[in-house]
Amino acid sequence: DTGVSQDPRHKITKRGQNVTFRCDPISEHNRLYWYRQTLGQGPEFLTYFQNEAQLEKSRLLSDRFSAERPKGSFSTLEIQRTEQGDSAMYLCASSFPRGRSAETQYFGPGTRLLVL
Amino acid sequence: AQSVTQLDSQVPVFEEAPVELRCNYSSSVSVYLFWYVQYPNQGLQLLLKYLSGSTLVESINGFEAEFNKSQTSFHLRKPSVHISDTAEYFCAVSDKSNFGNEKLTFGTGTRLTIIP
């Protein structure tokens, strides 16, 4: 179990540029979540995949955001035409539900985005 | 929809003293309850969770939390803290009935600082 990994760990970009983040979940986990955490706040849900299907998107996810999970393995989160308000920590989590018990989500270290 | 309130943003405590981190939630449905911990420069880790049954749940490192349905609270306690407990603690809930998507709703976090 190598844990959830995210790449890059830090990204600085200029307003208007596009950025893409990658998340590699724990290998047997079929559920993958993206969250965003701004300074002084707790993580907020963005979107959720079960295998390759994106099943829910938060209203926080504007049209400039897109997420994919081809083949149900790694996932990418792309932000087009970045704005200063996009500056945040982007967290990825994965899980493998067992029966009807509450699943445990395993979080990656996050990608910190700074938009200048 | 659910919401989580952590009223204390920062809690300083002397080493070996007891601590309580408060968490209250609001929800129109039954929820699972979680405490996650984030150590400096690390990702979020599950500390403990309440699913059903006994209202007192314990973690392996001496923390415990008690679910109080009437007060809609899930406060975290430890009778004697250690320097290594310095971290940010997040309370979270998920919708018990939404088996297909157990997205988490987090509070704003409490930064616990242990004073030697």
What dihedral do alpha carbons A77, A80, A86, A88 form, nearest 10°? 30
Exposure letters A23-56 (e unless 16+ CB within 10 A, then b): bbbbeebebbbbbbbeeeebbbbbbbbbeeebeb
Residue type, A80: Q
- Give the one of B43, B106, B108 whose C-beta lies nearest to A108's C-beta: B43
Q: What share of chain B in percent tops pLDDT 70?
A: 98
B94: which chain A residues are within 8 Å (Cβ-Cβ)? 102
Tokens of B19: 């601590």
What is the spatial distance between Cα A44 and Cα A26, in angstroms, rounded to a whole number?
21
What dihedral do alpha carbons B42, B43, B47, B53 form, nearest 10°? 180
Q: A31 pairs with which residues across the strands?
A: A50, A95
- Give the one of A55, A93, A109 whose C-beta lies nearest to B101's C-beta: A55
Structural contact between residues B91 and B8, judged by C-beta atoms closer than 8 angstroms:
no
Segment A47-75 mean pLDDT: 92
Encode pLDDT of B22-66 as tens digits.
Answer: 999 999 888 899 999 999 888 899 999 998 888 888 888 899 999
User: How many residues belong to chain A?
Assistant: 116
| The three-state (H, E, C) secondary structure of A25-74, written as one string | CCCCCCEEEEEEECCCCCCEEEEEEECCEEEEECCCCCCCEEEECHHHCC
What is the spatial distance between Cα B37 and Cα B111, in angstroms, rounded to a whole number?
10
* Cis peptide, bond prior to residue A8, ω within 30 of zero: yes
Least confident residue range of B65-79, B86-100, B102-116: B86-100
Segment A93-112 mean pLDDT: 84
Residues 6 or more apart whose Cβ sits within 8 Å of residue A62? none
Is A56 in contact with B103 (Cβ distance < 8 A)? yes
Structural contact between residues B86 and B107, judged by C-beta atoms closer than 8 angstroms:
no
Is B101 in contact with A43 (Cβ distance < 8 A)? no
- What pLDDT does B30 receive? 87
Is A45 in contact with B90 (Cβ distance < 8 A)? no
Nearest CA in chain A to B50: A102
